[in-house]
Chains A and B, each alone.
Chain A
């Protein structure tokens, strides 16, 4: 399978717990993006990486959110002290820097109870 993969696909957690999601981009893609999407809305940009460097982070992202891409391959998104408002679909996408087309993974659906 050469597509973008995300793990887990679904996560239910209690408020106050920490969660971590993983994204594996298409292998030759050097850019990786994280988005959050709630019902009836378009994807909202969170952050993106070029190789291992985190180039931009949304101002909407609180200090409870952190993302890494340590070797320029897979990436993790961690949410600390989850709140009910964090419930959403978290989407990962990747593209080669020379290409405009982003390929999306299937997403991780987070439910905070």
Chain B
């Protein structure tokens, strides 16, 4: 079966660092995505990992361990605009999304 797990909600403070974890069990694997989605809007692409290790892009970093079926998204220097849902998605032949993690940023 296909299963992607991530926490439902997280809260963090402006200026801090937060790590959003994702575990997956899928029949195939051709890469893992992280998307950001603000309420009422379409998802926007953040990162893509296909090999093990850390990919850094500005304030956002994404890590993948294929052997563990595990990824995380690290957000640094949090800003209020980072309040959104963060979707973990695995690419097989199609893309399978998790339910998303709602991140609340407190001032």
Contacts and interface: CB of A to CB of B under 8 A. Distances in A.
Interface of A: 33, 35, 40-45, 48, 56, 91, 100-107
A104 B96 CA distance: 14
B94 A45 contact: yes
Nearest to B48: A100
Contacts of B98: 42
Contacts of B100: 40-42
Contact of A42 (B31, B91, B97): B97
B89 interface: yes
Given A42-B87, A43-B87, A101-B48, A106 B41 contact: yes
Interface residues of B, number: 21
Contacts of B89: 42
Contacts of A102: 33, 45, 95
Q: Which 10 A-B pairs have the closest CB atoms?
A: A42-B97, A104-B42, A43-B97, A42-B99, A42-B100, A101-B45, A42-B87, A45-B94, A104-B43, A100-B48
Interface string B78-101: 000000000101010111111110
B4 to A, nearest CB: 8
Given A33-B94, A40-B100, 5 more contacts: A40-B99, A41-B99, A41-B100, A56-B94, A106-B41
Residue of A42, A45, A91, A100 with most chain B CB atoms under a 10 A cut-off: A42
Given A40-B99, A41-B100, A100-B48, A106 B42 contact: yes
A55 B91 CA distance: 15
B86 to A, nearest CB: 10
B13 interface: no
A42 B48 CA distance: 17
